[in-house]
């Protein structure tokens, strides 16, 4: 799958790099901040795609004795860096737009309009290339969000170009710049939140940890589940570890059957790729331990409901 991702990213990189030069040149020639800001965003797209490619390249490295999980997190770090880049460029656009509010410059509307239309076509092509992959990898999603922001930015620049050609109202260029910035920030916040959640080893958004605990407790041999941890290593690679206390003694044959049932229950109720289960036999102080665990689980559910 990463090979397919990389091939598509390389095609998008060629499209973006070619159009970046055209749009930036046209922005200065027409004196359009909307085009310049969109070109600036496209430059971050280029950096973003390069970072995404590097992320996939690093993630392909084999695990070592010091990196026992391998280098999968490189993909998430790349997505996080992309989110930061998006916010920084939108901040620059906002500052420049506020400066232009004081004295809106003359903008060559027709030239701006033609370049914006060409930019929209380039972004649509790039967006189509990445669209089907956006939910398969956070890294691909970050690249797609870059393109989506540019596409909406091109639409804003087209609208501003039409207004300027028709009315000579140059504030339209500044308003379009504000809209582009807001779109970029909105997309970036979600990307950063998801990246940080993974880097902080939070429970994946598509996994219900309470439901998994409840379903495991329905297995007759299981008395309690504790130290249940779920996190994401990289996009699509969710991991679960848990301690499971069982009734009485279980021989090797029954243990294998129980472990298969536990793994099947987890797979049926979540998108988890790897599980590690520690089986604990019942002990003389089991009643005390179980009551403690159930109390913790009840308190956890109460806190969640509040």
Choose from 1-10, 205-214, 249-258 the range with maximum mean pLDDT: 205-214
pLDDT given for residue 302 in this prediction: 58
| Residue 104 CB contacts under 8 Å (≥ 6 apart), including other chains | 170, 171, 173, 174
Residue 268, burial from CB neighbour count under 10 angstroms (0-12, 13-18, 19+): exposed
Q: List, in order of start, the domains of the chain with CATH numbers.
A: 3-200 (1.20.1510.10), 209-304 (3.30.70.1350)
290 has a pLDDT exceeding 70? no
Q: How far apart are the first and last CA of the chain?
A: 41
**d(C-alpha 192, C-alpha 233), whole Å:** 16
* pLDDT band at residue 299 under the 50/70/90 scheme: low
pLDDT by residue (tens digit) across 119-163?
Answer: 788 888 888 887 777 676 666 777 777 777 777 777 877 888 888
Token pair 């990898």 is at which residue? 137
298 has a pLDDT exceeding 60? yes
* Mean pLDDT for the chain overall: 78
Choose from 36-40, 70-74, 271-275 the range with maximum mean pLDDT: 271-275
* pLDDT band at residue 2 under the 50/70/90 scheme: low
pLDDT given for residue 240 in this prediction: 92
Q: Are 168 and 104 in contact (CB under 8 A)?
A: no
**d(C-alpha 82, C-alpha 76), whole Å:** 10
52 has a pLDDT exceeding 70? yes
């Amino acid at each position: 799958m990463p090979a397919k991702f990389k091939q598509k990213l390389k095609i998008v990189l060629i499209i973006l790099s070619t159009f970046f030069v055209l749009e930036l040149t046209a922005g200065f020639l027409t004196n359009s901040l909307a085009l310049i800001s969109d070109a600036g965003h496209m430059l971050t797209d280029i950096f973003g795609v390069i970072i995404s490619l590097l992320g996939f390249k690093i993630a392909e490295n084999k695990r070592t004795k010091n990196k026992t999980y391998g280098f999968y997190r490189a993909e998430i770090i790349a997505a996080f860096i992309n989110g930061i880049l998006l916010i920084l460029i939108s901040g620059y656009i906002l500052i420049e737009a506020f400066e232009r509010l004081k004295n809106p410059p003359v903008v060559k509307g027709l030239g701006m309009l033609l370049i914006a239309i060409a930019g929209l076509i380039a972004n649509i092509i790039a967006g189509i290339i990445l669209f089907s992959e956006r939910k398969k990898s956070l890294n691909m999603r970050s690249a797609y969000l870059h393109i989506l922001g540019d596409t909406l930015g091109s639409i804003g620049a087209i609208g501003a170009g039409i207004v300027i050609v028709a009315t000579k109202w140059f504030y339209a260029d500044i308003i379009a710049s504000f809209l582009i910035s807001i779109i970029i920030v909105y997309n970036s916040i979600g990307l950063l939140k998801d990246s940080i959640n993974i880097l902080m080893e939070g429970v994946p958004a598509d996994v219900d940890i309470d439901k998994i605990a409840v379903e495991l407790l329905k297995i007759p041999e299981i008395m309690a589940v504790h130290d249940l941890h779920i996190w994401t290593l990289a996009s699509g690679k969710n991991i679960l570890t848990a301690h499971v206390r069982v009734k009485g003694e279980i021989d090797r044959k029954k243990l294998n059957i129980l472990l298969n049932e536990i793994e099947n229950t987890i797979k049926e109720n979540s998108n988890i790729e790897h599980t590690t289960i520690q089986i604990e036999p019942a002990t003389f102080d089991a009643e005390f331990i179980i009551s403690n665990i159930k109390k913790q689980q009840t308190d956890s559910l109460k806190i969640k409901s509040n």
